[in-house]
Amino acid sequence: MLERWNAALDYIENNLGREIDASELARITLTSEYHFRRVFSALAGLPLSHYIRERRMTLAAADILDGRGVLDVASKYGYTADAFTRAFRDLHGITPSRARRPGAILRSRQAVTFHLTIEGRSTMRYRITELPAFHVVGKSTRIPLKFHGENTAMTDFHRSLDPGTGERLRGLADLPELSDILFVSDGFEPEREDGSLFDYYFAVATTSPAPPEWDTLTVPASTWAVFEARSDTALAPALQQLWADAFSEWFPSNPYEIIPGPEILTVTDASPDWSSGTGELWLPIQRSR
């Protein structure tokens, strides 16, 4: 499996001077483009398009220092002059012309390779289950994604809910596997970077039509991977880590890939300050090709 992913990385390196089609990277790794982007982001630590741009600007810096003209270098990597200058500044913090000055400090995005780590951080608890089509019903908002620390926009949204919202929603829940309050994430921006926006639902799962007062998301029948985390000291960080581990450890080690759909979190036995409790992360999946 890692051999195919490293072959995709070689393809990127060999084609930095031309348009790189993410569907070709998915073909090389025998996955979907959606899955490739999600797992690449988790493994490499940045979105695919950012990685490609920063690798181009790393190589472009050497061309600039060799005395090649800005227009020539921009054209080599498929940019207009203005777009090239912006991309160059985003990585290096200076313009191409300033990069030629003595003492200029440049930055390098190293080429990524993936290696098997023999000792995993943890043994992940998971199960595979099937669910029929259902509706996510509740209150929703669009907020920024935050990989680490408290998501204050999410906290503010929870505080804005009317008293009794949870109990009213529980009365609508009728899917035994997802019988309590759900914290649902959907509608991510393509690059899914820290600070990008997504749709967040405080909701329940029901197979019945929802009253018009609630926001609704329809979910087709799917196979789900369900991951479990338990913490007696810091539940919220443990749940954030659960997302990271699913994409950086579980997917590269198992013959499944994620498919478009909502990502669902359930929490039980949580203490009032969320310092302890048990959480489950539900991700829609299919068998890899």
Residue 117 banded pLDDT, cuts 50, 70, 90: low
Residue 119 banded pLDDT, cuts 50, 70, 90: very low
pLDDT of residue 88: 95
pLDDT digit string (tens) for 13-48? 999 999 999 999 999 999 999 999 999 988 888 899
Residue 236 near residue 250 (C-beta atoms within 8 A)? no
Alpha helices in the chain (DSSP H): 2-14, 22-29, 33-44, 48-65, 70-76, 81-92, 96-99, 152-160, 165-170, 235-245, 251-253
pLDDT of residue 270: 78
pLDDT digit string (tens) for 202-236? 999 999 988 899 999 999 999 999 999 888 888 88
pLDDT above 80 for 148 = no
Q: How far apart are CA 230 and CA 247, in angstroms?
A: 18
pLDDT of residue 272: 79
pLDDT digit string (tens) for 59-98? 999 999 999 999 999 999 999 999 999 999 999 999 999 9
Residues above pLDDT 70, as percent of the chain: 97
pLDDT of residue 97: 92
Q: Is the dihedral of CA 130, 134, 136, 142 positive or negative?
A: positive
Q: For the chain, which domains are there?
A: 2-99 (1.10.10.60), 125-287 (3.20.80.10)
pLDDT above 80 for 116 = no
Q: How far apart are CA 98 and CA 93, in angstroms?
A: 10
pLDDT digit string (tens) for 171-200? 999 999 999 999 999 999 888 888 899 999
pLDDT above 70 for 288 = yes
Residue 122 near residue 87 (C-beta atoms within 8 A)? no
Residues above pLDDT 90, as percent of the chain: 69
Q: Kindly report the average pLDDT of the chain as a whole number.
A: 90
Angle at 156 between CA 150 and CA 160, to 5 degrees: 150
